[in-house]
Amino acid sequence: MHKGCAITVGDLGEFGVIQRISGRLPQGAAVLLGPGDDAAVLRAPDGRVVVSTDLLVEGRHFRRDWSSGYDIGRKAAAQNLADVVAMGADPTALVVGLGLPPDASTEWLDALTDGFREECDLVRASVAGGDIVRSETVVIGVTALGDLGGRAPVTRSGARVGDVVAVAGRLGHAAAGLALLEAGVAATGPLTSLVEAHRRPLPPYACGPEAAGLGATAMLDVSDGLLQDLGHVAGASGAGIVLDPAALPVPEALADAAALLGTDPLEWVLSGGEDHALAATFPHHVRLPPSWTVVGRVVEGEGVQVTGRTRTTGGWDHFRG
């Protein structure tokens, strides 16, 4: 693909609902042709396109009695936009596939749209189109696209022995919020921030391109738990990772929730997913800004170890239950 040329994205098919969504969303500069035809046309100024796709299924990733349509829209957009910035790219557009049951009202759909819009606004991205089908439950498939801006993509396989491991964003908040909901606890005060974290993650979007500019050697977003996701970095890079538990942030709200539920808050930090923080490795000499916290190092060996703890695995596996 030559620099400056446009690409077409998928067969965008039936646009009844997606036109409603896209018509309520600002079209970014990357979208040359939006909803209304068989495909959208996007600008690709870098000559390369970063693409990621993800799926949310009602009852598996969200519950409509726990989360509003607005919350679900924010969450669906966020988890895909986070994948793009984790490659060091700037998000440009989303393509959305929706499976909707008959009881999904126009008001609920408008709230979903508002969630998509406000999350996309954070990174100046757009919904370029999508498709709609009737289903028994709400199913949301999102494909996110991004632009590298001339930078090399940051993959999982570049970590080298001697690098530091650093994180940006929240860890364990979404897992704690889910635990509170499952326990039927009426969250008040600081605990409400944890429940909101489950409903609407807050990925540190600016930190992805920032890390690429700082020379990050490997990076990913923490969707399935810090231990499990860093295990992917260790495996792809052919190295080991050692984490310092004393360096991992455990804010007061997490500690309070853990005391209430009788658990260890560090377990949420290490194994909780869906916060979509960023974890990256950097050469040890790189001076990191305050947005990044050094939590470990890359060493000879394999897998992920936590100093002073015997547990070396943890996190969410969709097929392990």
Contacts of 233 (CB under 8 A, 6+ apart): 156, 157, 159, 218, 220, 241, 279, 281
Q: Which amino acid is at 283?
A: P
164-306: CATH topology = Phosphoribosyl-aminoimidazole Synthetase; Chain A, domain 2 (3.90.650)
Q: Residue 311 — pLDDT band, cuts 50, 70, 90?
A: low
Binding-site residues for ATP, in ranges, read 130-131, 156, 223
Q: Where are the domains of the chain?
A: 6-147, 164-306
- 34-43, 171-180, 230-239 — which is least confidently predicted? 34-43
Q: Which residues on neighbouring strands pair with residue 298, listed in sequence order? A: 241
Q: Examine the pLDDT at 5 and tell me if it is beyond 50.
A: no
Binding-site residues for substrate, in ranges, read 61, 274, 316
Q: Which residues on neighbouring strands pair with residue 99, listed in sequence order? A: 133, 139
Q: Residue 20 — pLDDT band, cuts 50, 70, 90?
A: low
Q: Where are the beta strands (DSSP E) in 101-163?
A: 126-134, 139-147
- 36-40, 127-131, 163-167 — which is least confidently predicted? 36-40
Q: Examine the pLDDT at 6 and tell me if it is beyond 60.
A: no
Q: Calculate mean pLDDT across residues 129-144.
A: 92
Binding-site residues for Mg(2+), in ranges, read 38, 52-54, 83, 131, 221, 224
Binding-site residues, in ranges, read 38, 52-54, 61, 83, 130-131, 156, 221, 223-224, 274, 316
Q: Residue 86 — pLDDT band, cuts 50, 70, 90?
A: very high
Q: What is the pLDDT of residue 128?
A: 87
CATH 1.20.58.340 fits 6-147, yes or no: no
Residue the block writes with tokens 């060091």: 88
Domains 6-147 and 164-306 share a fold: no
Q: Residue 27 — pLDDT band, cuts 50, 70, 90?
A: low
Residue 276: how many CB atoms within 10 A of its CB? 25
- 28-42, 197-211, 248-262 — which is least confidently predicted? 28-42
Q: Examine the pLDDT at 321 and tell me if it is beyond 50.
A: no
Q: What is the pLDDT of residue 16?
A: 46
